[in-house]
Amino acid sequence: MARVVIGLSGGVDSSVAAYLLKQQGHDVVGLFMINWHDTTGTLEGDCPWHDDRVFAELVAKKLDIPLHVVDLSADYRTRVVDYMFSEYEKGRTPNPDVLCNREIKFDVFLREALRLGADFVATGHYCRKAEETLPDGRTIYKLLAGADPNKDQSYFLCQLSQEQLRYALFPVGDLLKPEVRRIAAEQGLATAKRKDSQGICFVGKVDLPAFLQQKLASKRGNVHEIFPTWPKYGPKARIPAGTPDAGQAIPAPASPGAERPEGDLHSPGGQHAADVPPTTEQLAALAAPWRYTVRDGKKIGEHGGAHFYTIGQRKGLGIGGRKESLFILATDTVQNVIYVGEGDSHPGLWRQALHIAPREIHWVNPARTMPAGQSARFSVRIRYRQPLQEATLFVRDQGAYILFDTPQRGITPGQFAAWYDGDELVGSGVISE
């Protein structure tokens, strides 16, 4: 059998993955990563990896497998955390977990595993891998959603390359979470009842402003409310069913100072009219975020720095006395202004489309690469745990545009959009704005 190096994180998923690999007859080696030492902004008050290491050691001893420890904190700070700071400073919202998998677990960690003689690297992710041999003899590695719809973690791996997938094994991908807990309990693993980790990958739960203040200074600025009656909101798209004001008209975004291009791209129910292909200009207008100025709203409070807030956020503003919660509609880190709107159905929260710059388009399955001028139907999510949304992907010289069948709440620059064909995660990209 193969020599498999597994990332033992101190959690129940990687513990059971190690057990399953050993049951399959593999030569299993545990490798524990230390990726973070700083406690600034962490809510636990100490480095969570200390406890994680203890549990990893207990599991390795129980399974009678060797455990190596490697400190990757320098790489993690440079390739994940510094990038995270840079994105927040620009008013964008990165996903450190996606970056951690692409840059650390399946790059730096992979190289460490290969030094230990690994044939494969395993993790406790709830996802699956499949292989396909093309007519020209090439092998394509496919990334599939996990069998547990409530735990599927394929989204976090949406930036993996073929070379990274080649070495990857996901032993718990065919299991449901309760089954994993049951196996851990039956085998007497110390992690059987341990809670799942939360917060930033390898950092833990954080007070985001306090964490970001390691590099980003507080800066007092104004909060301006944008009202639903803002004149540039027009009666075009529809609020998705199930929202408080479903059936009321909301607009499609337009570029600064521009009107909606002629031609209705949507039927009354919000579906894209397949027989009327949109122009690139129409797609760009639909994907453009709302652009506000302080003249468009009313000052209602102050904040400690626009770079500490994200689109769609409703907590942390400290402004009360409202019938419904205030949501962040936009941030301007240059002018240090936050724009908010009241209620989950506020038109400024919803958009029909998004844009991905050409350099940010990533095809997990290169055999599915679409050239400029093509379009295809996919199921898409723009954040972890979001139910898949039906959409059309248009590839143009200007990048990729995703046009959703129904408007989406809180499309956020810096996050990842991932598109699926059934269970297969075909590609992904960073939302440009």
Q: In the predicted model, is pLDDT for residue 271 greater than 70? A: no
127 is catalytic: no
Given 47, 100, 127, 158, which residue is catalytic? 100
Residue 48 pLDDT level (bands cut at 50, 70, 90): low
pLDDT, averaged across the chain: 87
pLDDT digits (tens, 9 = 90+) for 245-257: 333 333 444 333 3
Angle separating helix axes 177-186 and 12-23, nearest 10 degrees: 70
* DSSP letter for each residue of 225-269: E--TT-TT--S-EEPPTTSTTTTSEEPPP--TTPPPPSS--B-TT
Q: Which of these ranges, 240-249, 291-300, 315-324, 394-403, has the smallest mean pLDDT? A: 240-249
Q: What is the pLDDT of residue 51?
A: 87
Measured in degrees and rounded to the nearest 5, phi and psi for residue 77 equal -65, -45
CA separation (Å) from 143 to 94, 137, 217? 22, 19, 40
Percent of the chain exceeding pLDDT 70 equals 85
C-alpha dihedral sign at 358, 362, 366, 368: negative
Which residues are CB-neighbours of 130 under 8 A, at least 6 positions away?
141, 142, 144, 424
pLDDT digits (tens, 9 = 90+) for 59-105: 999 999 999 999 998 998 899 989 988 998 898 999 989 999 999 99
Whether 14 contacts 124, CB under 8 Å: yes
201 is catalytic: yes
221-431: CATH number = 2.40.30.10
Q: In the predicted model, is pLDDT for residue 183 greater than 80? A: yes
Whether 245 contacts 213, CB under 8 Å: no
Q: What is the pLDDT of residue 256?
A: 33
Given 47, 127, 158, 201, which residue is catalytic? 201
Q: Averaged over 278-306, what is the pLDDT?
A: 94
Residue 38 pLDDT level (bands cut at 50, 70, 90): low
With CA atoms as reference, report the closest residue to 73 among 48, 37, 43, 40.
37
Residue 74's CB is within 10 A of a number of other CB atoms, namely 10
Q: What is the pLDDT of residue 213?
A: 75
Residue 240 pLDDT level (bands cut at 50, 70, 90): very low
Residue 39 pLDDT level (bands cut at 50, 70, 90): low
**Domains 3-212 and 221-431 belong to one CATH topology:** no
Residues 165, 161: Cα–Cα separation, whole Å = 6
Q: Averaged over 154-169, what is the pLDDT?
A: 98
CATH H superfamily, domain 3-212 = HUPs (3.40.50.620)
Q: What is the pLDDT of residue 316?
A: 83
Considering only the C-alpha atoms of the chain, give the largest distance between any 2 of them, rounded to a whole number of Å: 68
Q: What is the pLDDT of residue 237?
A: 37
pLDDT digits (tens, 9 = 90+) for 139-150: 999 999 999 999
Q: What is the pLDDT of residue 300?
A: 95
Tokens of 169: 């094994």
- The pTM of this model reads 0.86
For the chain, report the end-to-end CA distance as a whole number of angstroms: 47
Residue 161 pLDDT level (bands cut at 50, 70, 90): very high
Residue 390's CB is within 10 A of a number of other CB atoms, namely 13
Contacts 24+ apart (CB under 8 A), 405-409: 405/270, 405/271, 405/272, 406/238, 406/240, 406/270, 407/237, 407/238, 407/239, 407/240, 407/250, 407/270, 407/350, 407/351, 407/352, 408/350, 408/351, 408/352, 408/354, 408/382, 409/312, 409/344, 409/349, 409/350
Q: What is the pLDDT of residue 399?
A: 98
Q: What is the pLDDT of residue 210?
A: 73
Q: What is the pLDDT of residue 272?
A: 45
pLDDT digits (tens, 9 = 90+) for 327-345: 999 999 999 999 999 999 9
Q: Which of these ranges, 8-22, 70-84, 141-155, 379-393, has the smallest mean pLDDT? A: 70-84
Q: What is the pLDDT of residue 150?
A: 94
Tokens of 187: 């085998």
Q: In the predicted model, is pLDDT for residue 273 greater than 60? A: no
Q: Strand, helix or coil at 11? A: coil
Q: What is the pLDDT of residue 1?
A: 84
Contacts 24+ apart (CB under 8 A), 261-265: 261/285, 264/236, 265/403
Q: Averaged over 271-285, what is the pLDDT?
A: 77
Whether 404 contacts 386, CB under 8 Å: no
With CA atoms as reference, report the closest residue to 234 among 347, 110, 89.
347
Whether 211 contacts 62, CB under 8 Å: no
Q: In the predicted model, is pLDDT for residue 32 greater than 90? A: yes
Q: What is the pLDDT of residue 238?
A: 36
Q: In the predicted model, is pLDDT for residue 266 greater than 50? A: no
With CA atoms as reference, report the closest residue to 297 among 243, 383, 227.
227
* Residue spans per domain, the chain: 3-212, 221-431
Stronger pLDDT, 32 or 252, i.e. the higher one: 32
Measured in degrees and rounded to the nearest 5, phi and psi for residue 151 equal -125, 0
